[in-house]
Structure 1
Amino acid sequence: MKAPKYKVIIDYIKEQITNGIWPVGSRLPSQRDLAKQFGVNRSTIVTALDELAADGLVEGKLGMGTVVINNTWTLMRSAPPVNWNEQVGLGTHQASLSTVQAINLAEADENLIQLSKGELSKDLFPLEEMRAVLTKVGQELEPFGYEDPKGNPLLREAIAKYLNQKGIMVHASSILVVSGALQALHLISIGLLERESTVFLESPSYLYSLSTFQSAGMKLHGIPMDKEGIIPEMIEASHHSRKSVLYCHPNFHNPTGTLMGEKRRQQLLKLAESAQLPIIEDDVYGDLWLDSPPPSPIKSHDRHGNVLYLGSLSKSLNPGLRIGWIAGPEAVIDRLADLKMQTDYGSSSLSQRAAAEWLVSGLYEKHLLKVRKQLKVRRNAALEALEKHLSSFAEWDRPAGGFFIWVKMNSDISLPDLYRKALANGVLINPGRIYATQKMQHFRLSFANAPVEDIQKGIAILESLIEDC
């Protein structure tokens, strides 16, 4: 005979509490989430929680929901246990914004139409080529351990040649292999910048959705953008000191999709050199141009070691490889390599060898041709759907590459409402508010991940919801 549903729920919650998954002080999932998880009415959840409360294990608290106050062990002891719910707030690294955390969870839901993900569709994953690369790497494999502190020498040589083709004249000794560009930013924040330093950056910027620099004690100072990207004159007008650095995203900026022109790049470099303002140039989308190749990287004109250049295979090939790089002066690379060794003793040896094979064999360039072609189809489909469904309510620019369209809604439409209603109706978008310190009447739409049919369907759903927002 099957146990009643509420008993099954009680046993599940007790198991989570007893095994320390939900220690004392933890807040249980909401009644709605539990009801959805177990496929029952909320009244069944209430019955289960009432019985757990009667046993002295949980308690409903105003503004907090249901909280664990005991477990079967603490009921038998006098000394209170460690309250991990308090401990998790004591670390030096700040938590993500609550909206960002919710989006991160929602991006794992395959039932949603993903108009948010900054990741290539699985349809664009080069499965056969990856199998061939891994087979070759496996056949040539010899016993290996930790890599060189700066990364696998063969991979660094391959990256150097790849960057030379972009006009960035660096040697392998000036390259550090990292586990994606985000780790590069983390290493820079803890290894090169003082606390209270100012990081100038575009406003909006995806860095506002992270806490990398803020957790290291730095202040973000947003600089307005125009159609060409960050405005140099606005940087000059801001107070900066030797404790300042400029972060910029010239190619297909996240979240706006903006492409910086050649003249603006020259202006930024000239300003940075005269003001002794180091530049962090993030170029993770640079290979994903759709109409014509972008201007040369800022780093290609750098003759004084003023620019740290970040690249990655996460956006253009696959994020699962976890391979990116920093190119810069050798002294800087040596410093960051030491910190990386202290952090993780190097990125995966197998991933580095696979990445080297992709670059050396020419497979990467062939792959890019396919990716650009498919991204262009998706971008055009998204633009057509936006014109059909949202032209009366919003405006946007046509991105020349990358993943994103930055959609500005009419001022009388509530973006928070649209985000929530869209999610409730199976569509995930990224509200612009997570990319700035001020209210944004925008949302970021990704055309990289969802199939064309879902992109069209998702945008049509947004139109149907706008009247309620």
Structure 2
Amino acid sequence: MPKRGERNRKEAEPLYRQIQEELRTKIVTGEWPPGTRVPPQRQLAELYGVNRSTIVYALGELAADGWLRAEVGRGTTVAADVWKAAADSPPPDWGRYVRDGLHAPNLELIRQINDAEPDPALLRLGTGELAPELLPSAAMQRLLAERPEGLPLAYPEPRGSLRLREAVSARLEARGIRASPSSVLIVSGALQGLQLIALGLLRQGATLLAEQTSYLGSVQVFRTSGVRLVGVPMDGQGMRDDEARRLAARHRASMLYVQPSFHNPTGIVMPERRREGLLQACVRAGLPIIEDDVYGDLWLDEPPPAALKARDRQGLVLYLDSVSKSLGPGLRIGWIAGPEPVIERLADVKMQSDYGSSSLSQHAVAEWLLSGEQERHLAFLRAELKARRDLALAALREHAADLADWSVPQGGFYIWLALRRPLPMPKLFDAALRAGLLVHPGEIYARGDRQHLRLSFAYAPPALLREGIRELAGLIRSFD
């Protein structure tokens, strides 16, 4: 579909008819097979640079001719018998193929968020990434330009670039984690690390314990692999070790996933004593741990306690980290540190799936880490994020003190808003979207949650962040 301004409009033909013909062509050529959901009217109007009424008229004409059908709860879709309108042989039933695919579909709300995020007109108040101005693009470009050696274009070795694994190993040692390069696997971001663990280490029907409110609630990697997720209750100190011990025995759990530092979405930092208790509970149960530490570097007031992996003497912990939250999500580089036989198994699974992460990205990250630039960048980043956090907190105190409660995050990107009363989150999400605000409701992270919002202070420009919080508070208040 052409972007705004790319269409060659014919002066003699009405705009609605030009759009109607372009959409009909998508149907006739099979780009939109029967059952395809048509983009929302607002999105089409923005795409074509026309009034919404023009889109309404074009869609109405297509519906009248039998090409489209309005369905309650699904919006407008391509008619199931559209091939009759085309007077042609019926196409394959791609809808059946889509439904029968092994990978579970994303949650509808997350799909809506993913579709909306590229829209520059929206103020992204929940996004889990850094604003472009906080990424060290120019410094990275200068660094790579100064390196005379050629850029690697060949496949990397199964565990990833040795130079990068050596840099990661040294970085982990500075955190008290012993992981030689042979016990490190380079992956295409932390999410792929989770996928490899699900596919390579867990059988179908296995039980994985995770925080009751968790990032795992927003991804399908374990459910798609047939792994059952069981939520462990949390308190203000994170996952409760006594509940983890009880549930591990009750469900014969195979593994435990936890984010001890700057938990996503709540921002909680697990204190020293709780970390020790959780680790010992897992040691006694023989329960392996996936420790997700992607926000660990992003402390704003003081560093968090040592990672679980730094305390691990039994090879119990698989440690997961990446540069996506500090250096750049587009690099798609992360790593897993763990026992060598496990790393060998996961490397084999990875080679079967993608034959290795990007050699260019691995080269760039290795040079960046070895140059010392990452530490300088982190110092800058912590100062910027702290200022944005404080601005967001001040805006909340001014505009939402009567609507919600929150804790002051000590690091990471997020403020976890606990609304004083439940709200119809789909309606709030839609109302915010119409107002130009993209929010992350709590039900993404805990099924049925109607009383939380994840607010990010890492992406929106400071002035717009303050204004966005004011507008969001007004929307919440309008549901009285």
The TM-score with structure 2 as length reference comes to 0.92
Q: Secondary structure at the match of 1:221?
A: strand
CA-atom RMSD in angstroms: 2.1
**Greater shift in the superposed pair: 376-385 or 48-57:** 48-57
1:451 aligns with 2:461: yes
Deviation at 1:135, TM superposition (A): 1.5
1:67 aligns with 2:67: no
Count of aligned positions:
467
Deviation at 1:47, TM superposition (A): 4.4
1:381 aligns with 2:388: no
Cα distance in structure 2, aligned partners of 1:183 and 1:296: 24
Cα distance in structure 2, aligned partners of 1:62 and 1:405: 35
1:427 aligns with 2:426: no
Deviations 1:376-435 (A, max 9, x none): 000110111111111111110001000001010111554443332222211222100110
Q: 1:70 to 1:334 in 2, by over 3 A?
A: same
Residue equivalent to 2:413:
403
1:314-393 paired onto structure 2 within 5 Å: 314-393=324-403
1:166 aligns with 2:180: no
Report if aligned partners of 1:232, 1:267 keep a CA contact under 8 Å in 2. yes
Q: 1:208 to 1:237 in 2, by over 3 A?
A: same
Report if aligned partners of 1:281, 1:298 keep a CA contact under 8 Å in 2. yes
**Greater shift in the superposed pair: 294-303 or 57-66:** 57-66
Report if aligned partners of 2:403, 2:477 keep a CA contact under 8 Å in 1. no
Deviation at 1:124, TM superposition (A): 0.8
1:189 aligns with 2:182: no
**Greater shift in the superposed pair: 57-66 or 85-94:** 57-66
1:217 aligns with 2:226: yes
Cα distance in structure 2, aligned partners of 1:424 and 1:452: 21
Report if aligned partners of 1:27, 1:68 keep a CA contact under 8 Å in 2. no
Deviation at 1:240, TM superposition (A): 4.3
Selected match of 1:133 from 124, 143, 152: 143
Cα distance in structure 1, aligned partners of 2:389 and 2:222: 32
Report if aligned partners of 1:179, 1:347 keep a CA contact under 8 Å in 2. yes
Residue equivalent to 2:212:
203
Structure 1: stretches of 5+ with no match in the other structure: none
Residue equivalent to 1:86:
96
Deviation at 1:31, TM superposition (A): 4.5
Q: Secondary structure at the match of 2:99?
A: coil
The TM-score with structure 1 as length reference comes to 0.94
| Identical-residue share of aligned pairs (%) | 49
Report if aligned partners of 1:189, 1:216 keep a CA contact under 8 Å in 2. yes
Residue equivalent to 2:161:
152
Q: Tell me the amino acid that sits aligned with residue 349 of structure 1.
A: S
Selected match of 1:122 from 132, 135, 139: 132
**Greater shift in the superposed pair: 124-133 or 267-276:** 124-133
Q: Secondary structure at the match of 1:236?
A: helix
Cα distance in structure 2, aligned partners of 1:429 and 1:28: 23
Q: Tell me the amino acid that sits aligned with residue 131 of structure 1.
A: Q
Cα distance in structure 2, aligned partners of 1:252 and 1:386: 20
Q: 1:26 to 1:421 in 2, by over 3 A?
A: closer
Report if aligned partners of 1:58, 1:70 keep a CA contact under 8 Å in 2. no
1:112 aligns with 2:131: no
Q: 1:172 to 1:74 in 2, by over 3 A?
A: farther
Q: 1:22 to 1:142 in 2, by over 3 A?
A: closer
Residue equivalent to 2:297:
287
Deviations 1:87-130 (A, max 9, x none): 11111111111111111122222222211111111111112211
Residue equivalent to 2:105:
95
Cα distance in structure 2, aligned partners of 1:369 and 1:31: 44
Structure 2: stretches of 5+ with no match in the other structure: 1-10
Deviation at 1:467, TM superposition (A): 2.5
Cα distance in structure 2, aligned partners of 1:415 and 1:142: 48
Cα distance in structure 1, aligned partners of 2:28 and 2:475: 44
Report if aligned partners of 1:257, 1:405 keep a CA contact under 8 Å in 2. yes
Selected match of 1:275 from 262, 267, 285: 285
